[in-house]
Amino acid sequence: MNLKARLLIALMGCVLVPPSLLIATATAAEVIDGKQLLADFWQASDLSTKQRSQEQLISAAGDIETLYRWVKQGPNYSADVAVGQQESARIADDGTRFPYVVLIPEDYDPAISYPVEFMLHGGVGRPEWEAGGGWWRRGYDSLKKPDRIVVVPAAWIGAFWWHENQAVNLPAILKIIKRDYNVDDDRVTLTGVSDGGTGVYFFAFKQPTEWAAFLPYIGHPGVLRNPASGGGHRLYFENLFAKPLYIVNGENDPLYPVQAIMPFIDILRETGVKHIFKPIENGGHNTNWLPQEAAQIEQFKLDNPRDPFPDRLDWIADRIDRYNRNLWLRVDELASDSQPGILEVAREGNDFQIVADEVSKFTLLLNPEEVDFSKAIKVEVNGSIVFEGLVSQEMNTLLEWLSMDLDKSLLFTAELTLEL
């Protein structure tokens, strides 16, 4: 018996263990170690802790394939979490308090990935909300569902849904929930009523990455263009191609009747944006119609999970500090301060065909299940090849984007940034 065999016997209490069992044990230990390290990274709340955890993950994984597998599987979620109706608040960097209510199923099971539905209330012109969660007028019992997590954030006169602070806030709240609860990343929807419906349009036009589908009720996207409403946003219908909408308006609504929103609906039809429009006969500015529409709405959500890596993406951006990303595409620089940048991207395997206008720099975010990193990637812009070659995957890239998005479905192991 050689020295290695004697050592193994001594370590195992003088019991010979078949080599296959030793390999299986090591593999199980590797998975447990990876899960724990990922959980530490997932829960890290400050930059230094996250950086330390990132370094430990990279060292333990050893290669990009192992790390990607760990991240894709996600952390082990604890069963020791609050359930039922919970009120909390997110504190922004400038000290602003953003309250929200989250409704967790009473029988929450951490082994199940739950859909998440954000519900945006109307009447955003009120003073800042105090503790007590009364911003959903009819209470929360009607919103509670056993098969999903429901989030009810607050808006007020200093934080309309279409203000920049809410554009940061809603994704940040989603990440807070994802840290503690097992979320189905591809079934996160955004629903809103009245001003909340208008807010849903804002995210559909400007910031669609996190969401699977948009459901604006008795709202109007025209409000977003009006500077007097706190908006003044330019709206580009091409930005709606990525995600479907379920739109409801009443015929006799004194604020946003069907007649007023029909020009918008006509453009959706002409441009081929995926949508369902339900005009409510004799309907007013209310949701009395909701019980009759509930089954169709639920089917719409089931039928429209998010596709995190569609083969075609369109995006128009008029700024680069925000509202410049759509899933795996980001606009980094505009050629002009006065004109929006336009990108139309079609991908087939490793080949990207791009039409670009007024964009001087952009980034493609790459996923190993969508492109073959062992082969060259080719990018053609406006008929000319601007890149053709191998692209390296990086473990730091994977973890940095995971930290930003906290999204197990939308993972990137490489960035390809190109200047035109």
C-alpha atoms less than 13 angstroms from C-alpha of 198 in its C-beta half-sphere? 25
Backbone angles phi, psi at 164, to 5 degrees: -60, -35
Lowest mean pLDDT among 222-231, 248-257, 264-273, 358-367: 222-231
What's the pLDDT at 31?
A: 53
Mean predicted confidence (pLDDT) in 391-404: 97
Instruction: Identify the CA nearest to 289 among candidates 193, 212, 220, 213.
Output: 193
Is residue 93 over pLDDT 60?
A: yes
Question: Cα–Cα distance between 57 and 253 in angstroms, integer?
Answer: 55
pLDDT of residue 369: 97
Section 392-396 average pLDDT: 98
| pLDDT value, residue 80 | 96
User: What is the pLDDT at residue 32?
Assistant: 58
Mean pLDDT of 3-14: 34
Mean pLDDT of 282-294: 96
Report the share of the chain in percent with pLDDT over 70.
92
pLDDT average, residue stretch 169-192 = 97
Dihedral sign computed on CA atoms, order 142, 144, 150, 151: positive
Domain residue spans of the chain: 3-73, 84-303, 312-419
Task: Show the DSSP H helices in 62-109 as ranges.
Answer: 64-73
Cβ atoms of 248 and 281 within 8 Å: the answer is no
Kindly list the distances between the CA atom of residue 58 and the CA atoms of 61, 70, 120, 391, in Å, as whole numbers in the listed order: 5, 11, 39, 19
Structure tokens at 118: 């954000």
pLDDT tens per residue across span 120-155: 999 999 988 887 878 887 789 989 999 999 999 999
What number of CA atoms fall less than 13 Å from residue 248's CA on the CB side?
Answer: 24
Tell me: the pLDDT tens digits for 30-89? Answer: 555 788 899 999 988 788 888 999 999 999 999 999 999 999 999 999 999 999 999 999
Nearest CA to 376 out of 385, 45, 398 is that of 385
Mean pLDDT for all residues in the chain: 91
pLDDT band at residue 15 using 50, 70 and 90 as cut-offs: very low
Single-letter amino acid, residue 135:
W
Both structure tokens of 158 = 């200093």
- What CATH number is given for 84-303 in this structure? 3.40.50.1820
- Residue partners of 308: CB distance under 8 A and separation at least 6: 185, 186, 327, 328, 407, 409, 410
Rounded Cα gap, residues 161 and 193, in angstroms: 11
Give CA–CA dist 50/75, Å, rounded. Answer: 15
